[in-house]
Amino acid sequence: MKEEDVKRLQEYRERRREKKKAFIKKALIAMIPVAVVAAAVIFVLSRPFATPQKAVKAFYDAVYLDSDLQKMEQCVVEEKRSAMEYLLTLGGSNPNYITLYADAVKQYLGDDYVIEYDFYDENDMSAASLAAMKKLYSGVSTGKYLSCTVIFRAEKYAGAFKVDLDLVKQNGKWRLTRYDMLPIGAIPTAD
């Protein structure tokens, strides 16, 4: 091969390398917005209060799996948190009272159980109900009625209870409006 041909071949390869680099750079730049949107969607949906269902799950997990009053409080509208804490600590006299709920379930299921959720009915709040919620609670933008069965499963036993809930989106996060009528301490009944 002649020296000229070798030089042209090297120049050709160099141009191809540069074109390939430019294409990869353009492709990566084009993918950045897609990756940012995907990351934002994943971030929003992975938050515990991104949907009404996740708020309900976070609440019951806090009761029956974690026995964590602070986690429970995060699931309830801000205006009800101090009343809930007062009730669930017996006026501050028993801060560990919350553990009794999980203990009651453990008596029937043992220590090794899981909780599953079957959400079977979801409806938007009526305009009148939503207006009432906005008067009661600050930062409310929308509301839902949600029904679900909370299912407890262990190796030899399963139990469940049904619950109807009112939730509002308060300051961008879904929250339960009531805790006092919820069967948070209910011992599940057999399927």
- Residues 15, 79: one domain? no
- Residues 39, 88: one domain? no
159 near 109, Cβ under 8 Å? yes
- Residues 55, 143: one domain? yes
Structure-model confidence comparison of residues 26 and 42, the more confident one: 26
- Residues 89, 36: one domain? no
List the one residue out of 184, 187, 180 whose CA is nearest residue 86: 180
- Residues 5, 80: one domain? no
Q: What is the mean pLDDT of residues 123-130?
A: 96
| Domain total of the chain | 2
Amino acid at 22: A
Residue 85, domain CATH: 3.10.450
- Residues 41, 59: one domain? no
> Rounded to an integer, what distance in angstroms lies between the CA atom of residue 116 and that of residue 113?
10
What are 167's two structure tokens? 């939730």
> Rounded to an integer, what distance in angstroms lies between the CA atom of residue 72 and that of residue 113?
20
Predicted local distance difference test score (pLDDT) of residue 46: 44
The helix (H) or strand (E) run that includes residue 6 is helix 3-46
> Rounded to an integer, what distance in angstroms lies between the CA atom of residue 175 and that of residue 47?
13
62-92 pLDDT per residue, tens = 988 888 989 999 999 999 999 888 888 888 7
Mean pLDDT in the chain? 83
The fraction of the chain above a pLDDT of 90, given in percent, is 38
The backbone torsions φ and ψ at residue 190, rounded to the nearest 5 degrees and listed phi first, read: -65, 150
> Rounded to an integer, what distance in angstroms lies between the CA atom of residue 180 and that of residue 53?
19
85-119 pLDDT per residue, tens = 888 888 878 878 888 888 888 888 888 899 999 99
* Band of pLDDT at residue 140, cut at 50, 70 and 90: very high
Distances (CA, A) of 102 to 75, 83, 144, 186: 18, 21, 28, 10
Predicted local distance difference test score (pLDDT) of residue 1: 67
- Residues 115, 178: one domain? yes
Q: Where in the sequence is the domain holding 18, given as residue range(s)?
A: 1-46
Predicted local distance difference test score (pLDDT) of residue 41: 47
- Residues 69, 157: one domain? yes
- Residues 103, 134: one domain? yes
43-56 pLDDT per residue, tens = 444 455 799 999 99
What are 172's two structure tokens? 């961008």
> Rounded to an integer, what distance in angstroms lies between the CA atom of residue 47 and that of residue 173?
9
> Rounded to an integer, what distance in angstroms lies between the CA atom of residue 101 and that of residue 188?
11
Structure-model confidence comparison of residues 19 and 146, the more confident one: 146
- Residues 38, 69: one domain? no
- Residues 66, 18: one domain? no
- Residues 25, 59: one domain? no
* Band of pLDDT at residue 40, cut at 50, 70 and 90: very low
> Is 16's pLDDT higher than 50?
yes
Predicted local distance difference test score (pLDDT) of residue 124: 96
User: Who contacts 82 (Cβ-Cβ below 8 Å, separation ≥6)?
Assistant: none
What are 140's two structure tokens? 């409310």
